[in-house]
Amino acid sequence: MAFNSVLRRASKCFLPLATRTVGSLRTVQRAIPTVLSVENRTTPRTLLPFSHFSTAATAERPTADDNLIRVLESEIDCIEEPQDEENIPNEFPFKIEDNPGERTISLNRKFQDETIKIEVDMPNVSIDVEDADDNTKDSDVSSIPLVVSISKGSGQFMEFGITAFPDEITIDSLSIKNPENSDELAYAGPDFNDLDENLQNAFHKHLEIRGIKPSTTNVLFDYMANKDNKEYLLWLKNLKNFVEM
């Protein structure tokens, strides 16, 4: 999957940069006591001018900032340029609303007399997976959290908490909500997995005919991976611009 570039990005960029940064810092830390010890032996403590310390303190901050800017520039250069436009199939049933700087996107569509809205968050990647023998092995398991709301104009709406895996959708929660009633103590229904199996299957079918199915969510994996790259690049550039001010 494309969003595994997040893992590649960390190993390709951060580790070498971190090594160089830590190494230079340790070199500076080792040099400071040596310089001070030489000064203390050759110059009486009472004759050290105050300006010596104030000048050193003043010079230290720009040097640190310059180093931070160089590291940020290296990381920016290391990032693969995100795509300007994602390849969305013509049969994709939802309109996508994507605002730069936000970690989520929104999907919207009309289905008969219903309004369907989906909030899509950034992908999650889990590395450690236990097999049937309870042995931990390295495996990239990717998923995308979704919140699906279906309303019919009456004020109430049905809300699903969903986790989308490649070629599979799981329903984590289901509730009926009223925007005028935000009582956190309201009954939210039983755990979805505790429902009768036939009822669970019926709700999965309910979502499927409205376009919430693996063929739809699989498109989101590449889209959200590209968005993650875009937001990370924008975040780095904003940090660099702030430090340079």
Q: Decide if domain 95-225 falls under CATH 3.40.50.170.
A: no
Tokens describing residue 211:
């376009």
Is the model more confident about 192 or about 187? 192
Q: In angstroms, rounded to a whole number, what is the distance separating the alpha carbons of residues 219 and 104? A: 15
Is the model more confident about 133 or about 39? 133
How confident is the model at residue 180, as a pLDDT? 73
Query: What are the Cα distances from residue 145, in Å, to 125, 162, 165, 169, 236?
Result: 11, 6, 9, 10, 25
Give me the chain's average pLDDT, please: 77
203-219 residue pLDDT tens: 999 999 999 999 999 99
How confident is the model at residue 179, as a pLDDT? 74
Domain spans of the chain, in order of start: 2-82+237-244, 95-225
Reduced to 3 states (helix: H, G, I; strand: E, B; else coil), residue 184 is: coil
Rg of the chain's alpha carbons, rounded to an integer?
27
Tokens describing residue 172:
């984590």
Q: In angstroms, rounded to a whole number, what is the distance separating the alpha carbons of residues 49 and 195? A: 79
Q: In angstroms, rounded to a whole number, what is the distance separating the alpha carbons of residues 161 and 119? A: 10
Q: In angstroms, rounded to a whole number, what is the distance separating the alpha carbons of residues 120 and 144? A: 7
Three-state secondary structure readout of 138-165:
EEEEEEEEEEEEEECCCCCEEEEEEEEE
Q: Provide the whole-model pTM.
A: 0.69
Task: Give 45-48 contacts, CB < 8 A, sequence gap 24+.
Answer: none
Percent of the chain scoring above 70 in pLDDT: 65
How confident is the model at residue 182, as a pLDDT? 62
Q: In angstroms, rounded to a whole number, what is the distance separating the alpha carbons of residues 118 and 108? A: 7
Classify the phi-psi angles of 32: left when phi > 0, otherwise alpha if psi is within -120 to 50, otherwise beta: alpha
